[in-house]
Amino acid sequence: MFKDSKRPLHLDIGSARGGFLLDLAPLQPDWNHVGVEIRHPTVLSAERDRQQLKLDNLRFLFCNVNVSLEGWLTGLARDQLQKVSIQFPDPWFKRRHQKRRVLQPSLLLALAAALQPGRELFIQSDVLAVIEPMVMLIERSNCFERPRDAAQTWLNANPLPVPTERERYVLDQGLPAYRMLYQRNAHDLTDLKSLEVMWHEFNNPIEKNMSTADA
């Protein structure tokens, strides 16, 4: 995929039209960058822009991350993946659509398996109802922790050198952006089934309350 495959790899999940990575890749020539996106026409447009800019350290791929990405991650060389970003993912507010949200337990554990201790996972959103479940899932997995010098609340600034298109829009409107940076720790992977049970209970409070009432 790259002219030099030995560079560290940054994976941006939900890369949309690609503006973020198209701006970032020239600033970080010592990194390889991959943007994955589920909308195929958007990927084709982003890839055309990449080719026009002749960026050999960037690729855009069409991918349903909760179907295809886990297998791809297992094929990476040890410590090749060093940074993952998930920025302003689709909210999928309706309960029946929440299974489409990008960060699911199986994907999180696949990312944790591919990241070595100290490597980073960065998330941000302008919707609390989206990012709070992501934070809960990440922290309950016991595979990630906030850097020691990080604030215990949302980050005030983006640790990446360029913003996404959505981030620029949100900030221009004077709206908040909720950000959190994590590092992979040295803990073993959490059991997937137990993490899924917790995730289901968290995402279905109505069902949980009804079960309690029936009991």
CA distance 142 to 52: 42
Q: Does a structural domain hold residue 163?
A: yes
Using left for φ > 0, alpha for ψ between -120 and 50, and beta otherwise, residue 18 falls in left
Number of domains in the chain: 1
Q: Please check whether residue 22 lies inside any domain of the structure.
A: no
| CA–CA distance, 114 with 54 (Å, rounded to integer) | 28
Whole-number pLDDT of residue 148? 74
Is residue 15 in a domain?
A: no
Q: What's residue 201's pLDDT?
A: 77
**Which residue reads 């201790």 in tokens?**
117
151 CB-near residues (< 8 Å, 6+ apart): none
pTM, two decimals, is: 0.89
Tell whether 3 is covered by a domain. no
CATH number at residue 203: 3.40.50.150
Residue 94 covered by a domain: yes
Q: What is the pLDDT of residues 180-207, one digit of tens each?
A: 999 999 999 999 999 999 888 776 544 4
Catalytic residues: 90
Q: How confident is the chain (215 residues) per 10-residue block, as mean pLDDT? A: 92 95 97 95 96 97 87 93 94 47 88 97 93 92 85 85 94 94 96 90 51 40
Residue 33 lies in a domain: no
Whole domain around residue 78: which residue ranges? 64-214
Distance CA 33, CA 150 (A): 25
pLDDT for the residue 36: 95
Contact between 73 and 111 under an 8 Å Cβ cutoff? The reply is: yes
How far apart CA 82 and CA 8 sit, in angstroms, is: 6
For residue 94, what is the DSSP state?
S
Whether 57 is covered by a domain: the verdict is no
Does residue 179 belong to any structural domain of this protein?
yes
User: DSSP code of 67?
Assistant: I
Amino acid identity at 165:
E
Q: How far apart are CA 82 and CA 47, in angstroms?
A: 22
* SS3 of residue 161 by DSSP: coil
Helix (H) / strand (E) containing 208: helix 205-214
